[in-house]
A and B are shown apart, each in its own frame.
Chain A
């Protein structure tokens, strides 16, 4: 039987504020347990929450960037459930009047653009963190409330995805938008960006959706994709046996690469949402909305298009550049200084990215600056150094942050373009390699390449390669 896979994603992103949603405690990651808490985020009796304006505006900004409709009225609701990571026994979230609704995200798979609808975008508070000791027989769990109350954005898609490549593109595009709008740092390894998938299968051509299974505990984009593949096969087997897929929540086990049932529909949570009386509603007027819209920068897909049209880059190159906002910014800075888009694109997407990967550099704190890369491209064009030597200079620049001219002087890398000097070396190489010269005269073209290589070796790569070629060819022909 052929089935169609129907996939929707829920995304949680911690907002990049300095303080929590309802109190002035720090949101910094990786601090000792319970050092960033106060009576408000510990849920002590009698405290009152006051909303962080920046958190609200970040959420609004994301909702606008995701093309959501923004209602003039929005408020917050209590979502009740009892779990030790939730000090108040309810989470302040939104249910009846979400901040944003009916938006969309355009994704691109193999050059084909596809629109994934967004059901809603809303703001809520994070729960604390539970630690389960690994020691055998431990009968306790540990709770750290540093994360409790950190502003959290939830983005719920419609079940509009059919294949894993669409899911991957959705996650990547969404991550890029959150980074471009600077509302979240999206560090998956620190949990500031998390995904939950819901998957159902239906017979091809059937309109009715099958029973949906939700998968939690997906710690990376890779595990999202693996879990979807696993779940697709599991549900297909169930349906092929003539059984029905139960509506349930499953937990992904990253080590064993399979999922296990967490709770069935019957055991599903009853959250008893009701309006949070401790918080006042928020009214969003035209003026405020316009001000928020003005803070949204050019988004990734639009920027990619502009790079292709404005700088004559290929779609592939443009995609590589816009992938990280900081790199696209770096590129644009360079082009502003010197109009050589293709050259800068090559340096950034090849050499820079390779050095970053090999030396495990942080692209957010690069030592090399756009004006230095521009200066490097300039001295290559002037012929001060060859493009081979330039790679060595670049490597030094990215490690030390030195100007290209400084590196060239310190390492004595100036290109040799003195005809007399090159001729002298050529004469030496020719007399040292009579066999190669004979081979060339007999018609072996690659013998010349060998001789050029010898000259370059003599000059430690500094001889002007074009001149070496021309002069050498002239000499051996004689």
Chain B
């Protein structure tokens, strides 16, 4: 699979980052290098291998529905660039 400039622009858009022309070219190269390296895996026969998402043989880890203390509002907002009356303030978003 080859990554072209359109693909890079598409991914950049999904990630909400803006790239200049030089960066786009650079990422086309880098991403293709990474993918062709990963391509090596396709030389293996995986016909009878199930996809694996978890490497540990552990399952069913739960917590009880027990109330715990939340953190104080000043700590909640401490890293926020902008706040208003206890809310995080962000650039206007309209759906």
Contact = CB atoms under 8 A, between A and B. Distances in A.
Contact of B68 (A17, A25, A56, A282): A25
B66 A139 contact: no
A200 interface: no
B64 interface: yes
A107 B58 CA distance: 41
Contacts of A25: 68, 70
Nearest to B94: A132
Contacts of B14: 80, 82, 270, 272
A52 B65 contact: yes
B54 A17 contact: no
A50 B60 CA distance: 10
A142 B84 contact: yes
A51 B92 contact: no
Given A26-B70, A37-B71, A84 B93 contact: yes
B71 A142 contact: no
Nearest to B14: A270
B38 interface: no
Interface string A30-55: 00111111110010000000111111
Contact of B67 (A24, A82, A251): A24
A343 interface: no
A19 B16 CA distance: 32
Contacts of A130: 93
Contacts of A210: none
B59 interface: yes
Contacts of B22: none
A116 to B, nearest CB: 29
Interface in A230-245: none
B76 A140 contact: no
Contacts of B91: 139-141
Given A34-B88, A37-B70, A140-B91, A56 B59 contact: no
Interface string A67-89: 00000000100001011100000
A144 interface: yes
B1 to A, nearest CB: 15
Interface stretch (A219-227, A273-281, A377-385): A273-281
Q: Which interface class (under 10, 10 to 19, 20 to 34, 35 or more) fits B?
A: 35 or more
B11 to A, nearest CB: 9
A209 interface: no
A54 B89 CA distance: 33
A35 B86 CA distance: 8
Contact of A38 (B16, B64, B71): B71
Interface string B51-88: 00110101111111111111101001100001011111
Contacts of B15: 82
B95 interface: yes
Nearest to B88: A143
A356 interface: no
Contacts of A142: 84-85, 87-90
A179 interface: no
Contact of B66 (A19, A39, A145): A19
Contacts of B82: 140
Contacts of B95: 251, 262
A54 B65 contact: yes
Interface of A: 17-19, 23-26, 32-39, 42, 50-56, 75, 80, 82-84, 130-132, 138-145, 251, 262, 270, 272, 275, 277, 280-283
10 contacts: A24-B66, A24-B67, A35-B70, A37-B71, A52-B62, A84-B88, A142-B88, A251-B95, A277-B53, A283-B60
